Homo-oligomer: A and B are copies of this chain.
């Protein structure tokens, strides 16, 4: 391992997804700072195509919990944010100038999704640096139409994921990532190296056994097969097109 380090990198390396929170309130000033830190990330051509919906309304929280597969922390966590790729604001800015902004390009969807994820990762890390913990909720894409109606999202606004935040009430431990050599390629894409995979499978198997006191006996290959050998939210393309994305 390298001895290159910084306080920022230490914060990143300490990341774990937190799904249990204390009852302590998170002040609004903290949430504002977390979102402003997100805004400080890069934006492609400075188009600023992200919006965050903070959901405090209890009935809406329950709707979002049900629409995310019933994950209880979506309903109960101190702070729930929905990160949206928002092309609508700029469409409205163009409309105010009498311009009908072209929409529907796959490229625009890429820009808005990527920029919103850059934004969100700053927000997550900012929250962690303030002593909070959190987890991304991709589950809101289970029923994106329900989320869209619940938050009154117009066309050209796509709710990409939620984020639960609060003070941590658990310490699940750091999950070992793929070896760097499997992720960082030199000049050319390197196909899967089965030896590296076998070695990582053992590392992850040991981790799961230790974390679950022997109850979970699996590895990365099995996890991937179980997770990806099925249809992946097959409603998604139709939903995105309903929102005016991916029509060209």
- Residues of A that sit less than 8 Å from B by CB: 2-9, 11-13, 15, 17, 27, 29-33, 35-37, 39-42, 44-48, 50-57, 60, 84, 88-90, 92-94, 96-97, 99, 101-102, 105-108, 110-111, 113-118, 120-122, 124-126, 128-130, 135-136, 138, 141, 151-154, 157, 160-161, 175, 177-178, 180, 182-189, 191-192, 194, 197, 220-221, 223-225, 227-234, 236-237, 240, 246, 248
Contact = CB atoms under 8 A, between A and B. Distances in A.
A234 B246 contact: no
B2 A15 contact: no
A21 to B, nearest CB: 17
B129 A89 contact: no
Contact of A7 (B8, B124, B227): B8
B234 A187 contact: no
Contacts of A154: 189, 191
Contact of A138 (B6, B44, B224): B44
Contacts of A116: 114
Contacts of A120: 118
Contacts of A240: 106
Contacts of A130: 4, 6, 9
Given A52-B185, A97-B221, 18 more contacts: A4-B27, A4-B33, A6-B130, A8-B11, A12-B37, A13-B37, A31-B184, A32-B184, A39-B177, A45-B138, A90-B224, A92-B192, A93-B197, A93-B220, A106-B240, A107-B236, A151-B185, A154-B189
